Structure 1
């Protein structure tokens, strides 16, 4: 409970300091993904004429929103949390505190910020008659919690490794971008050659994409194998990340 209370305090401070002195305040957290979404929607939906398979398929913008916005929360959480121990080097060894809370805080802040933006955008899309089912938000909540756990597990592992291998943080944005493009964020797996479609089941984020589209857009649900792989990936990330963090934290002071 002490770790959670500290993480919540640090998350609130992070959100406050992140936009302190900004004219737009926290609104920039909504504007930035919106601009990114507009660019992707223009490039893929207008220039490349991307279409969603199926006669009763939703428009391309809601199709993209329900997959990309959770990704923004996930990728920002991992990126910011990876340097959490390094960024708080002045506290390590000087103050007795639960160190995993330093990693949990940016993950909480990112999901809280972009989660609120996600709900706001879904409300706008539903009001515009784009086919978004707001009743599916309750169905989507378990997937969001699992995605949060996946981000936390990966962040615990990477933040501990970042103390010893400083090349991780600079390389991470490129790795996450590659992961986004090989996930069915901008496309449905149905457009892939049939022999490659089943490989999507082994990409953990694919099950989240397809589940969000199932819950919020009424599209087909992910297959059983994809769900098993996705849940297994979350459990593996949390267990491995926490174990590695606990094993390596005793050496943090020597390398910070």
Structure 2
């Protein structure tokens, strides 16, 4: 006798199942007709890794200060790909409701699945590439700690929830305020340069470092570099702000989406 799911659990399972189907369709359409097919998800980051290695390793010869610091390429890779997954997920999901306006008007479906699908697709594509890059760096002896590969998973799960919370909030607001989507790429780029993606807190002025912790991305970046590269662990203020950012995004996104979705059809 199979166990009976509660209505809430059944609803969540239904949303996730539909989002998974939509994400698979998105990925299939994205790589349909390409010569390499889905293998491009792994080939592309390897090509990018080769470019970064050439530019920073041979042209700029940039290294982090300190004798025990890793090279700049693994320093960059460990954070850049999670950030790319996050930024692409938020960017693509922000217009998910608007892009599926005709579907919403004709078919009764959980609208949150339309937002969840591009978030799943972005993290799936970049997750495969990220894992491939880390394995390559591990094989070539670039300082990746094998034990850190499992320890990084909670951070990536929280980053996924962070992206989903923001995506729910922004996709709901985008229906009523159409200026969000055009402005979002510039805002995400500004956020990236204000986050420790291309640099660490050691290059920040001493007086600015406490403010650096208020950026939720600081805790994620420093945790990943701590686990994978053995760099200094993030402080409790940075971790607390990261957890608070995720919780606020999920709560605000879920609340706004539930309250506004009843008015979607009137404005689409």
TMscore range, shorter length:
over 0.9
Instruction: Report the alpha carbon displacement of residue 56 of structure 1 after superposing the two structures with TM.
Output: 0.7
Q: Deviations over 1:115-160 (max 9, x none)?
A: 1111111000010011111210111000000000000000001111
Unpaired segments ≥5 residues, structure 2:
1-12
- Mapped to 2, the partners of 1:125 and 1:96 lie a distance apart of 47
> In the alignment, what sits opposite 1:99?
111
TM-fit CA distance, 1:235: 0.3
CA contact (8 A) 1:33 1:72 kept: no
Residues 33, 161 of structure 1: alpha-carbon distance in 2 compared, 3 angstrom cutoff: farther
Residue 49 of structure 1, CA deviation:
5.0
Please state whether the residue corresponding to 2:213 is helix, strand or coil.
helix
1:185 corresponds in structure 2 to: 197
Is residue 70 from structure 1 mapped to residue 82 from structure 2 by the alignment?
yes
Q: TM-score, normalised by structure 1?
A: 0.94
| Residue 184 of structure 2 corresponds to residue 139 of structure 1 | no
> 1:39/1:173 Cα in 2 relative to 1: closer, same or farther (>3 Å)?
farther
> CA 1:35 to 1:124, structure 2 compared with 1: closer, same or farther past 3 Å?
closer
How far does the alpha carbon of each residue in 1:211-249 deviate from its partner, in whole angstroms, 9 at most, with x for none? Answer: 000010111110001111100000000000010011111
Structure 1 match to 2:24: 12
C-alpha deviation, 1:8, in angstroms: 0.8
Deviations 1:164-193 (A, max 9, x none): 111111111111111111111111111111
The 1:168–1:44 alpha-carbon spacing in structure 2 relative to 1, beyond 3 Å, is farther
| Correspondence for 2:65 | 53
Q: 1:46 offset after TM fit, Å?
A: 5.6
Could you tell me which residue of structure 1 aligns to residue 212 of structure 2?
200
Counterpart of 1:108 in structure 2 is: 120
Cross-structure match for 1:247: 259
Distance 1:47 1:183, change over 3 A: farther
User: Superposition RMSD on alpha carbons, in Å?
Assistant: 1.7
Quickly say closer, same or farther: Cα 1:41–1:71, change in 2 above 3 A: farther
Find the counterpart in structure 2 of residue 157 from structure 1.
169
Q: Is the 8 A contact 1:149 1:234 kept in 2?
A: yes
Work out whether residues 42 and 132 of structure 2, in 8 Å CA contact, stay in contact via their aligned partners in 1: no
Match of 2:222 in 1: 210
Structure 1 ranges of 4+ moved more than 4 A = 31-49
Write the distance in 1 (CA, Å) between the matches of 2:134 and 2:51.
18
8 Å Cα contact 2:45-2:133 kept in structure 1: no
Q: 1:228 to 1:163 in 2, by over 3 A?
A: same
Give SS of 1:156's match.
Answer: helix
Stretch moving more, 162-171 or 61-70? 162-171
Map 1:167-182; keep pairs closer than 5 Å.
Answer: 167-182=179-194
* Map of 1:28 onto structure 2: 40
Q: Separation in 2 of the partners of 1:6 and 1:74?
A: 21
